[in-house]
């Protein structure tokens, strides 16, 4: 009766018909709940497929009465509440698919009693807590999917010893700590662990076991940013101040050099009626009357009307071995 347009609910007692062995009602529009059954009649039901319907409510504890059940497929419904511990009574079940529902609470440890289980899919629910270590009791389990839940704590390292487990998906939960680097964990695809912010692969990078909350991390990052910003501001101001000081010192030094190079002293060998200002007035290009190796001769008229000749002696450059007659000129003046 699968893949039809059946509506309504499953009649109470229907699943306990004495000779019923197979129920396939998948891909319909069935609603309502699976009601609790008080019947003690041994069920022969081996396959129950109710996937992709609109069934809701909690899973009854009487689900454990189907001792002959091998396949229980409830995926794609709207079941809520906790998975009953009575699920551990299904000792012959091979496949359990409870994915895409709204089951909450913890994974019952009793699921480890389903020793014939090869396929377990609990993905896309609201399950919390850790993965029960009792899962390792299922020695022939080869598919295990708990992705897209709210499971937490560390991944049980014991799962690595399950050599039959070839496919596992722990993605998009809240697992923490490091991924065990032993056994089957080494063969799981890397995508099996994505979506767990606090889970790290210690084989690639050291794990950070900081216990600070996201808000504390945000505050710490904000504080670091503020400190870094202040440091940059102080550094920029210090650099600007140093530039100003160096520029000021350079200007002062330049002025001193210019002042020193421009300063000169008038030495008179006899009493004169004119001063240095009068002499400086004579040193002009249009007053040149002669040029020599040791200097230039200027004509000048003092304020008293006296005519004078002013000779500007050229200095000796550094490293020069020839003074162009300057020494002779000085000696001549010294004898006068």
Encode pLDDT of 240-267 as tens digits. 888 888 788 888 877 765 555 555 565 6
pLDDT, residue 78, reads 97
Residue 127 falls inside a structural domain: yes
Quick one: 68 and 85 in the same domain?
yes
DSSP letter, residue 9: -
Contact assessment for residue 149 and residue 123, using Cβ atoms and an 8 Å cutoff: yes
Residue 110 falls inside a structural domain: yes
- Residue-range definition of the domain harbouring residue 217: 211-263
Residue 24 falls inside a structural domain: yes
Least confident of 164-178, 185-199, 205-219, 292-306: 205-219
Quick one: 118 and 189 in the same domain?
yes
Residue 294 falls inside a structural domain: yes
Higher pLDDT, 99 or 280: 99
Confidence of residue 301 (pLDDT cuts 50, 70, 90): confident
Least confident of 1-15, 69-83, 152-166: 1-15
d(Cα 277, Cα 283) in Å, to the nearest integer? 10
Which of the listed residues 232, 263, 294 is the one where a domain comes to its end?
263
pLDDT, residue 195, reads 96
The per-residue pLDDT of the chain, averaged, comes to 83
SS3 assignment, position 265: coil
Higher pLDDT, 209 or 277: 277
Contact assessment for residue 304 and residue 274, using Cβ atoms and an 8 Å cutoff: yes
Residue 202 falls inside a structural domain: yes
Residue 28 sits in a domain of what CATH number?
A: 3.80.10.10
Quick one: 116 and 203 in the same domain?
yes
Beta-strand relationship, 307-313 and 295-301: antiparallel
Quick one: 144 and 281 in the same domain?
no
SS (H, E, C) 76-124: CCEEEEECCHHHHHCCCCCEEECCCCEEEEECCHHHHHCCCCCEEECCC
Quick one: 40 and 144 in the same domain?
yes
| Strand residue runs (E) in the chain | 7-8, 22-24, 29-30, 47-49, 56-58, 71-73, 78-82, 95-97, 102-106, 119-121, 126-129, 143-145, 150-153, 167-169, 174-178, 198-200, 288-291, 295-301, 307-313
CB atoms within 10 A of CB 208: 8
Higher pLDDT, 49 or 327: 49
Quick one: 141 and 226 in the same domain?
no
pTM of the model: 0.61
Quick one: 127 and 251 in the same domain?
no
Quick one: 117 and 182 in the same domain?
yes
Encode pLDDT of 9-57 as tens digits. 998 888 888 889 999 999 999 999 998 877 665 678 999 999 999 999 9
pLDDT, residue 211, reads 41
Quick one: 187 and 215 in the same domain?
no
Quick one: 183 and 292 in the same domain?
no
Quick one: 238 and 256 in the same domain?
yes
Residue 1 falls inside a structural domain: no
Residue 107 falls inside a structural domain: yes
Residue 2 falls inside a structural domain: no
Contact assessment for residue 39 and residue 15, using Cβ atoms and an 8 Å cutoff: no
CA-based end-to-end distance of the chain: 142
Beta-strand relationship, 47-49 and 143-145: unpaired
Residue 278 sits in a domain of what CATH number?
A: 3.30.200.20
Quick one: 127 and 12 in the same domain?
yes
Write the CA distances from 58 to 101, 144, 172, integer angstroms.
Answer: 11, 23, 24
The pLDDT > 90 percentage for the chain reads 51
Total number of domains in the chain: 3
């Amino acid at each position: 009766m699968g893949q039809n347009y059946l509506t309504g609910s499953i009649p109470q007692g229907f699943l306990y018909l004495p000779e019923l062995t197979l129920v396939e009602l998948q891909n319909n529009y069935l609603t309502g709940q699976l009601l609790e059954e008080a019947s003690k009649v041994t069920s022969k039901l081996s396959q129950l497929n109710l996937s992709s319907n609109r069934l809701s409510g909690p899973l009854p504890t009487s689900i454990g009465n189907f001792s002959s059940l091998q396949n229980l497929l409830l995926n794609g419904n709207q079941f809520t509440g906790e998975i009953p511990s009575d699920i551990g009574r299904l000792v012959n079940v091979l496949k359990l698919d409870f994915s895409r529902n709204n089951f909450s609470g913890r994974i019952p440890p009793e699921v480890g009693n389903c020793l014939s289980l090869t396929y377990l899919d609990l993905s896309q629910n609201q399950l919390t807590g850790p993965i029960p270590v009792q899962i390792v009791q299922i020695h022939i389990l080869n598919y295990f999917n708990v992705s897209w839940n709210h499971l937490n704590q560390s991944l049980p390292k014991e799962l690595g010893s399950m050599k039959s487990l070839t496919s596992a998906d722990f993605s998009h939960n809240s697992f923490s700590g490091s991924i065990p680097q032993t056994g089957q964990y080494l063969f799981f695809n890397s995508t099996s662990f994505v979506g767990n912010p606090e889970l790290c692969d210690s084989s690639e990078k050291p794990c950070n076991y900081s216990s600070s909350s996201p808000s504390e991390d945000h505050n710490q990052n904000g504080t670091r940013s503020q400190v870094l910003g202040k440091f940059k501001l102080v550094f920029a101001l210090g650099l600007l101040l140093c530039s100003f000081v160096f520029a000021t010192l350079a200007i002062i030094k330049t002025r001193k050099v210019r002042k020193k190079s421009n300063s000169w002293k008038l030495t008179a060998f006899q009493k004169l009626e004119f001063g240095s200002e009068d002499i400086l007035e004579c040193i002009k290009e249009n007053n040149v009357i002669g040029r020599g190796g040791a200097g230039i001769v200027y004509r000048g008229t003092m304020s008293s009307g006296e005519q004078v000749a002013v000779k500007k002696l050229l200095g000796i450059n550094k490293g020069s071995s020839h003074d162009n007659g300057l020494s002779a000129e000085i000696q001549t003046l010294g004898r006068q």
